[in-house]
Amino acid sequence: MCYSAQVVASYERFVREFGAILDIHEFVQLFVRKRADGGWARLPKGMRDAFRRPQGEAGFELAKLVAEGDRELEAALEAELAAQEQRHAKAESVLASPKPTKKAVEDKRIASNKIKAARRNLDDLRRQSPDPKDSRIYPGSFAPVMIRDPKALARTVVPMRYQCRLPGWTEAIERKYPGTYNARRDKLEETWFQLFGHQHGIMIVSKFYENVDRGGENVVLEFTPDPPQDMLIACLWSKTRNKDGADLWSFAAITDEPPAEVIAAGHDRCIIPIKPENLDAWLNPNPGDLAACYAILDDRPRPYYAHRVDKAA
């Protein structure tokens, strides 16, 4: 399964290279909701930073939302840091007393970890220079996905959650099936029949990450195509409604049996890149010709995936 991926979040590139239209309305709606529901950190820094230079009236609205959302996140992280530093100091005081407790030992350990995390997150938030990790996504976070808008009949970029909520599912049902950020190729006509052949998308990825067991220990491996390249990853998407009435756009990356080098590294699945010349055919599928959809998945680029241990994990 594709546990994590580094995506392309340059919207100018979507427009320049693919002639895509940005659905600004959906970005605004998403940013407003994430500020309101405390999920601002689910929006990758690369996605937020892409809108700091406003273009047009809607662009100014997005830039304002990004600035305000980041200020609120910074204040929340500073409050968390202060609270954990106080907790750490209290635990140290108890441990230095004549009656140290196990609770104080545990409080100090937890506070230490949370202090490191808060400081790291604050440093990332305040950093001005871009870093590849700014565009790394995980299940539950958001990424730009290119689809063919059935109304505009054009390639369109929409922000979607990386974990697909299937049509007809409620939030309660979704919680029972947390693995729907990937869609197995051999289940496309079963679990994914409502989307396969109907609602296809593309996520642009430069590398991906997988959990691998190494002697009973979980290790995260980074896989990079050789030669380095951005890959058009085949996805399925869905648009559903939350219980509050808000739209939720969500997607899954299609996975298949991996090439030999990924198997040798210890993993049994791999995302599927498609060729640029197949882009329009993939985005505009014929539900009555699933064989053509499978043919696009089979006619894939086959780079060699070099791997290394992800030191940031």
Q: Say if CB 195 and CB 166 are below 8 A apart.
A: yes
**Residues in Cβ contact with 72 at an 8 Å cutoff, skipping those fewer than 6 apart:** 35, 40
User: The pTM is what?
Assistant: 0.90
Q: Quote the pLDDT of residue 312.
A: 72
The residue behind tokens 């049996």 is: 257
Rounded to an integer, what distance in angstroms lies between the CA atom of residue 124 and that of residue 127?
A: 5
Single-letter amino acid code for the residue at 292: A
The string over 138-148, giving b where at least 16 C-beta atoms fall within 10 Å of a residue's C-beta and e elsewhere, is ebebbbbbbbb
Task: Tokens for 126, please give them.
Answer: 């305040």
- Note the CATH number of domain 4-24+134-309: 3.90.1680.10
Q: Quote the pLDDT of residue 57.
A: 73
Show the DSSP H helices in the chain as ranges: 11-18, 24-37, 45-49, 56-95, 102-126, 171-176, 260-265, 279-283, 290-298
Length of the chain (residues): 313
Q: Quote the pLDDT of residue 82.
A: 98
Q: Say if CB 236 and CB 201 are below 8 A apart.
A: yes
User: Consecutive sets of 10 residues in the chain, 313 residues long: mean pLDDT of each?
Assistant: 74 85 90 92 91 78 93 96 98 95 96 97 93 91 91 88 95 92 97 97 94 87 94 96 86 96 93 96 96 98 94 70
